[in-house]
Amino acid sequence: MKDFLQRALASFIGTLAALTLTLTLGATGLILLLLLLSHQSDPVVKDQSVLVMDLSLPIQDTEPIPSLTAALSSDSQAVLALRPLVESLKKAAKDDRIVALLLDARRGASPLTGYATLAEVCQAIQGFKDSGKKVVAYGVNWNERGYGLAVMADQIWINPLGTLEINGFGLQPLFLSGALEKYGIGVQSVRVGNYKSAIEPFTRKDLSPESRQQTQALLAELWSAYLQNLAKNRPIQTQTLQALADQQGFLLAKAAQGQGLVDKIGYWDQVLESLVSFGAKVESDGEQALRQVSMATYGEVSVPAVPVQDSDNKIAVLYLKGTIVDGKGGLDTVGSERFIPLLRQLQSDPNVKAVVLRIDSPGGSATASDNLLREIQQLRRKKPVVVSMGDVAASGGYWIATGGERIFAQASTVTGSIGVFSLFFNVEKLGNNLGLTWDELQTAQLANLGSSITPKSEAELAVYQTAVNQVYESFLDKVAQSRGLPKAKVAEIAQGRVWSGTQAKQVGLVDEIGGLEQAIADAAQRAKLGQDWQVKELPAPKDLTLVLLERLSQTQAWQALRPSDTLAQPWEQLTTELQALQTFNDARGLYARLPLFWQSWD
């Protein structure tokens, strides 16, 4: 027995030592790999190069958290960040080594880029064209988002077997009430605003008349702006475009060329020949290779003609992207406890002379929105605060926007939705179907007010309705005070109704039609900085090395040896589906947000 214990102990110690050595070498190797990745040589741009913008990559306000997989991939760029993209186009316009810009849609155009973001990119492309350099667009199957950028090109190419989509904007909202009812989950709600439709996917099986009317009107407004942009840049009238959308939807290559929507039909080698005519260089080493530089790589290139601006005067751009939630939230949400310290940091930083809030949010928790607004108002007492709206800045997103001195939005920004609601789920029928029953004891009529077991009584709903009414009145007051409008006027344009950026300007909810660059320039002017300033972006992106080392330090040894779980993938899919509901974490259950379907319209 003693020998057995000695052998067992020796085996355990040996295994532990081997495990420790393996993990140590693994961590050391990982660190060495990260150091090698972080010390890669600077990219080199040759003369007669073409700047290539891959339209299959979504364009977003900020870059995602870096990952080792992306760093090791030959196609490591997952998204194009908006400001670096715009700055790269400005830089390339002055760079003699860059002779043209190629909008590359051979792999399609990402459906994840919003139309308001596209408008900002179009403006930047126009600035590149104004320098006298050419822009060429090539695609196989042009969708409406990609084509919205392609119209800025001097030449639009399409593959001989390609198609061009022009079929209008549409939505197919998903309604869950039937499924919830089938499984015995009851849903009740209270709201203020006839157009406040965020509750409808849970309480109805179709759109309410008010929701249908406002959604159809907004889609029509956005579609009209899209057609006007096409007609402005192509030899075709909006009436013809509308007829094509109504009657054809997709055009084959020859038909698209016949309508003037594209200039040339051809293959990739023919596009190369066209770029050569604009001064580009094609290497002939057995395989024709365009001398090019990707947009992501070019962002890291220094250009002598464009000196790097360095100044102690900072204009801070704070990105508020995602659903607004209580607590710290996640990387894709606006957690009040995570962003309030950032706002206080901006307030106390003597080098920060002005702040631009870049808002891309459908709203969320009313409490979190109000807490954030309070900090924005405190910041505004010391420094200019300007708001730039992205693709969506509505409901709670508009709530926090009222803290700005001036609000900029794109024509296709979705905003407004000034309204409040609360949702209540109960599992009484579900439990009964499973043989579960509940009894009730209470010392007051409203003692079980917060229960999710049984449906709310009329008296309980009245309590919540009073709270919703109170928050709604507060919302109206904040908008009226911020926008300098009579409260009665705000009440008319509120009611939960959504507006396009153009409509919002007409009713007084925004000040200017413009993008992030215009907002930054306005902030610099308000701070009286002249040309002596530099942009500082927050939250600051983390370095890949730091991200992985943080995660490594939080990982237990047994997790490194844990066998793969066959339920991992289904669980991740389920988690993704439930994420939207997980953001409903307001302490009082009061929300100011858009319906989920507005995040996926096309």
Mean pLDDT lowest for which of 88-97, 431-440, 484-493, 526-535?
A: 431-440
With a cut of 70, say whether residue 235 has pLDDT above it. yes
Q: What pLDDT, in 10s, does the model give residues 266-278? A: 999 999 999 999 9
Stated length of the chain: 602
Quote the pLDDT of residue 330: 84
Tell me how far apart the alpha carbons of residues 546 and 551 are, in angstroms, rounded to a whole number.
9
Mean pLDDT of 86-101: 96
CB 269 within 8 A of CB 289: no
List domains and CATH numbers for the chain: 49-167+248-298 (3.90.226.10)
Of 133, 196, 353, 478, the active-site residue reads 196
- Two structure tokens written together for 355: 């702040």
- Two structure tokens written together for 216: 């159809």
- 395 as an active site residue: the answer is yes
Q: What pLDDT, in 10s, does the model give residues 476-510? A: 999 999 999 999 999 999 999 999 999 999 999 99
Tell me how far apart the alpha carbons of residues 242 and 546 are, in angstroms, rounded to a whole number.
51
Of 189, 395, 412, 422, the active-site residue reads 395
Residue 64 to residues 60, 116, 150, 447, 503, Cα–Cα distance (Å): 9, 20, 26, 45, 32
- 56 as an active site residue: the answer is no
With a cut of 50, say whether residue 568 has pLDDT above it. no
Mean pLDDT of 48-52: 96
Confidence label for 310 from pLDDT (cuts 50, 70 and 90): confident
Confidence label for 582 from pLDDT (cuts 50, 70 and 90): low
Mean pLDDT of 376-395: 97
Q: Which residues pair with 32 in a beta bridge?
A: none
Half-sphere exposure of residue 11, counting CA atoms within 13 Å on the CB side?
6
Q: Which amino acid is at 222?
A: L
Mean pLDDT of 215-231: 95
With a cut of 90, say whether residue 89 has pLDDT above it. yes
Percent of the residues in the chain that have a pLDDT greater than 90, as a whole number: 72
Of the ranges 52-56, 78-82, 589-593, which is most confident? 52-56
Quote the pLDDT of residue 556: 46
- Two structure tokens written together for 86: 């715009």
Quote the pLDDT of residue 28: 52
Q: What pLDDT, in 10s, does the model give residues 1-46? A: 444 445 544 554 555 554 454 445 455 554 554 445 444 556 789 9
